[in-house]
Amino acid sequence: MTTVQKIKEVEDEMNRTQKNKATSYHLGQLKAKLAKLRRELINPSGGGGGGGGPGFDVARTGIASVGFVGFPSVGKSTLMSKLTGTHSEVSEIEFTTLTTVPGTVKVHGAPIQILDLPGIIEGANDGRGRGRQVIAVARTCHLIFIILDVLKPLGDKKIIEQELEGFGIRLNKTPPNITVRKKDKGGVSITNTVPLTNIDHDEIKAVLSEYKMSNADVAIRQAGATADDLVDIIEGNRIYIPALYVLNKIDAISIEELDLLYKIPYSVPVSSKDWLNVDELIEKMWETLNLVRVYTKPRGLAPDYSQPVILHRGKCTVEDFCSSIHKEIAKQMKYAIVWGASAKHARGQKVGLDHVLEDEDVVHISKK
């Protein structure tokens, strides 16, 4: 039996099994089994098939990358071409785009790389079509645009999400607050700082036993944690990426239908063809990328607002700022003066390398 067939078999059994007290051990086992099988698809032992492969993994430029994922002919290339000014073939025929097509769009002074990708179909992460290569590229992006055609069934959204999830991508999620520590003896002990509403001790033990962890301390600090969250922590190779749902072709629907679309979380309705609401999409993209612009102020001169240094939130200390200009600057710095949201006073604050900067701060580096 192939891995794909084995996965199908476990999924069928899960669907047949009702969740209750008597079945939770069994369900826990099945969830762990499924994750282990899926891992074989993400990293095939025979090599090949896992990574982007030739032609798929393009050179990365700019400060962040956005990957376009969706079924064929939803309008990925139309949007990418107009957004970046880079040509990517458009046609009503499915599977027009056959490989990664990169382009760049500048937003608030930051060059953002846009990756137009081939369309994927259901079963993509099991190796159908070029789906695996497409999803492998998506795994490396800072943001995923899931492009949907509003004229197609909304169930398509769920299918695309499942394809990405099956490949270890977690969308608009943070890593579950669960720790699992292996030990030499003493069996399994479970502590929880929140009530266990979606997982019970049997399920936890079943998951651990499936991973041959008979001695371990498990601490659950996440409300609503599930067996899938526990599996994610044990598997460890999950990638947490923000996603926006781009609901394309709104030129072809009524205002009433459009109102309903606005209720979908993380979504932006647009028409790539008629350039409707694309400005809102660009603004949402900017917010979701969570970038920090920092302006440099040389001694005695006004800040240079034309060329911000762009940093990623969570990696935006004065030291990160220095390193992104030149690797020697941090060593030469005596202190920095910061103006803006991260500074305590309007007249500026003297800070060191570990000071965390905010968007649109102005920084002066004073050298030794």
Binders in 46-85 for ligand GTP, by CB under 6 A: 70, 72-78
- Secondary structure element (H or E) that encloses residue 237, with its range: none
* Cα–Cα nearest to 72, from 114, 103, 123, 117: 117
Interface characters, 235-274, with ligand GTP (x: CB under 6 A): -------------xx-xx------------------xxx-
Q: Which is nearer to Mg ion, 133 or 342 (CB)?
A: 133
Q: Least distance to K ion from the beta carbon of 176, Å? A: 38
Q: Least distance to ligand GTP from the beta carbon of 82, Å? A: 9
Q: Least distance to ligand GTP from the beta carbon of 249, Å? A: 4
249 binds, among Mg ion, K ion, ligand GTP, none (CB under 5 to 8 A by kind): ligand GTP
Q: Which is nearer to ligand GTP, 29 or 272 (CB)?
A: 272
Interface characters, 74-113, with Mg ion (x: CB under 5 A): --xx------------------xx----------------
**Does residue 133 bind Mg ion (CB under 5 A)?**
no
Contacts of 120-127 with C-beta under 8 Å, sequence gap 24+, read 120/69, 120/70, 120/71, 120/160, 120/163, 121/71, 121/72, 122/159, 122/163, 123/163, 124/163, 125/38, 125/41, 125/163, 125/164, 125/166, 125/167, 126/4, 126/7, 126/41, 126/166, 127/4, 127/41, 127/49
Q: For tokens 């996440």, name the residue.
A: 222
Grouping H, G, I as helix, E, B as strand and the rest as coil, residue 205 is helix
Q: Which is nearer to ligand GTP, 234 or 281 (CB)?
A: 281
Centroid of chain to Cα 74: 21
Binders in 91-110 for K ion, by CB under 5 A: 91, 96
Grouping H, G, I as helix, E, B as strand and the rest as coil, residue 15 is helix
The binding site for K ion (CB under 5 A) comprises 73, 91, 96
